[in-house]
């Protein structure tokens, strides 16, 4: 490829970078996650407000690391077609990386988000055991409902449902049989 040819995943050649994601979809994708982080900090705040502040700082850092480690490899990087809006934000702060194997990059780096989902319920179980209140119970149920039911449903039924990368994405297609390969852009 000569220097005047577009890159394989540039908007000129990328089939997934054509249609901008509607603003309502970006909000729908992010509002529950923000709510989850707020609830998680509030739950942890019953143990220690320092722990809650640390959790919120970690969640913010984890999202930025997600942009850096995952979004910079995505075909939606820098494009309004990114259904969660992260691709546009990632491009403002980080240089593009190879978009060759998004599945591998996603799987290798998604663990940075796990503490955001799993630390608050662990703290809540301890609190429910030692200082049970209905407020803690309802907060824990709300956190788990948002994190483990609502967010996955929004992703699978709305956010990711029509994404052209869903065949390559471990979130939508967790396993690829040895005889098949992920879809090429």
Spatial contact of 83 and 70, defined as CB atoms under 8 Å apart: no
Could you write out the DSSP letters of every residue in 83-149?
TTSHHHHHHHHS-----TTHHHHHHHHGGGGHHHHHHHHHHHHHHHHHS--HHHHHHHHHHHHIIII
Within-domain flag for 16: no
The predicted structure's pLDDT at residue 150: 96
Check whether 177 has a pLDDT greater than 60: no
Per-residue burial over 10-27, b if 16 or more Cβ lie within 10 Å, else e, is eeeebebbeeebeeebbe
Within-domain flag for 176: no
Which whole number is the average pLDDT over 49-71?
Answer: 96
CA 161 to chain centre: 15
Q: Which domain holds residue 94?
A: 23-159
Check whether 41 has a pLDDT greater than 90: yes
Within-domain flag for 63: yes
Q: In 10 A of CB 138, how many CB atoms?
A: 10
If residue 36 lies in a helix (H) or strand (E), which one and from where to where? helix 23-45
Cα separation, 134 vs 114, in Å, equals: 26
Within-domain flag for 173: no
Check whether 135 has a pLDDT greater than 80: yes
Within-domain flag for 93: yes
The predicted structure's pLDDT at residue 171: 66
Within-domain flag for 80: yes
pTM exceeds cut of 0.85 = no
Which whole number is the average pLDDT over 62-87?
Answer: 89
Residues in the chain: 185
Residues 6 or more apart whose Cβ sits within 8 Å of residue 71:
77, 82, 86, 87, 89, 90, 94
Within-domain flag for 62: yes
Q: Residue 167 corresponds to which tokens in the numbers above?
A: 């065949």
pLDDT band at 45 (very low <50, low <70, confident <90, very high): very high
Within-domain flag for 38: yes
Q: Based on the structure, what is the number of domains in the chain? A: 1
């Amino acid at each position: 490829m000569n220097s005047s040819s577009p890159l394989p995943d540039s908007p000129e050649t990328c089939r997934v970078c054509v249609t901008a994601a509607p603003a309502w979809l970006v909000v729908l994708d992010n509002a529950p996650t923000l709510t989850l982080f707020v609830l998680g900090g509030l739950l942890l705040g019953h143990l220690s407000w320092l722990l809650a502040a640390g959790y919120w700082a970690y969640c913010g850092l984890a999202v930025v690391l997600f942009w850096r480690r995952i979004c910079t490899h995505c075909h939606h990087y820098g494009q309004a077609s990114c259904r969660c809006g992260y691709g546009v934000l990632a491009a403002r702060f980080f240089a593009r990386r190879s978009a060759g194997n998004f599945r591998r990059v996603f799987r290798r780096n998604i663990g940075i988000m796990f503490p955001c989902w799993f630390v608050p319920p662990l703290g809540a179980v301890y609190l429910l055991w030692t200082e049970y209140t209905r407020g803690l119970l309802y907060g824990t149920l709300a956190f788990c409902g948002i994190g483990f039911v609502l967010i996955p449903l929004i992703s699978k039924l709305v956010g990711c449902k029509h994404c052209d990368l869903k065949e390559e994405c471990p979130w939508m297609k967790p396993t690829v049989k040895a005889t098949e390969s992920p879809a090429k852009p």
